[in-house]
């Protein structure tokens, strides 16, 4: 289950961000009278990774949710180029904080249920639903996509949806479909979201992000919300940002 993996994520993060955690770990684990005079310097790669994680966490930086990077590249490319730090930022989510956040999001209880069922991040499902329909259960797109997750009728039928306007049914089908796309594209979040919008055939045909403005805008919008949701969950339990003493003791 996604929400049960948080302790593993925190331990992984504590190890990787050794640029700061090394001090807390060494002082904690060294017996009195045996503490070394000096501690080994952190690896430059760890320092860079730590700085990237801080950038995901810091809303004041403006880079975490900007539509484009300073060099003009779209936001989804930033996810790609900073994949390791992004993965740690997402993977270290606190399950209780995520659930508490979802209580304030429309259909949060249903989102948690379908995300658990299909082993997918509930905050990702929430970001897709918000982008697709603004949580309008009766939403209909110009192309005929329906309901919270904007399921096309053929896809909804494929996933056994009897009433596409029923929130639980629509969310369940959408989460299942999104999970299948993540598996199909080997966990590549950017390609899975692009496929959710444009169809997996288009992503395969173009061997990457299709050159469609709508698809790129959709992908950026979902990812931006996804980061904002995770940052809010982080802030709820780590108001000081990366607290190395807490992480090292995780």
Catalytic residues: 132
- From 161, 128, 167, select the one nearest 147 (Cα to Cα): 167
Q: How far apart are CA 124 and CA 130, in angstroms?
A: 10
Residues 6+ apart with CB under 8 A from 231: 56, 57, 59, 64
Q: Specify the DSSP element, H or E, that contains 150.
A: none
Start-end of H helices in the chain: 6-16, 18-29, 44-57, 75-81, 83-91, 95-102, 108-118, 122-133, 153-158, 167-184, 189-198, 200-206, 213-237, 244-248
CB half-sphere exposure, 196, CA atoms < 13 A: 33
């Amino acid at each position: 289950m996604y929400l049960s993996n948080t302790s593993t994520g925190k331990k992984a993060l504590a190890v990787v961000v050794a640029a700061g955690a090394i001090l807390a770990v060494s002082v904690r684990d060294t017996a009195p009278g045996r503490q070394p005079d000096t501690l080994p310097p952190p690896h430059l790669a760890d320092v860079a990774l730590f700085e990237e994680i801080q950038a995901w966490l810091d809303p004041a930086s403006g880079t975490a949710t900007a539509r484009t990077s300073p060099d003009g590249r779209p936001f989804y490319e930033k996810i790609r180029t900073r994949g390791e730090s992004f993965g740690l930022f997402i993977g270290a989510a606190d399950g209780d904080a995520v659930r508490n956040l979802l209580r304030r999001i429309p259909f949060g209880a249903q989102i948690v249920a379908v995300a658990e069922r299909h082993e997918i991040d509930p905050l990702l499902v929430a970001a897709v639903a918000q982008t697709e329909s603004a949580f309008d259960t009766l939403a209909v797109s110009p192309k005929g996509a329906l309901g919270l997750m904007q399921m096309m009728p053929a896809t909804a039928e494929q996933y056994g949806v009897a009433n596409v306007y029923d929130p639980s049914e629509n969310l369940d089908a959408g989460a299942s479909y999104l999970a299948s796309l993540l598996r199909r594209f080997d966990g590549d979040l950017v390609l899975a979201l692009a496929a959710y919008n444009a169809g997996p055939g288009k992503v395969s045909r173009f061997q990457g992000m299709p050159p469609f403005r709508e698809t790129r805008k959709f992908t950026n919008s979902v990812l931006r919300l996804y980061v904002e949701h995770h940052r809010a969950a982080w802030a709820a339990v780590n108001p000081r940002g990366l607290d190395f003493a807490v992480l090292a003791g995780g």
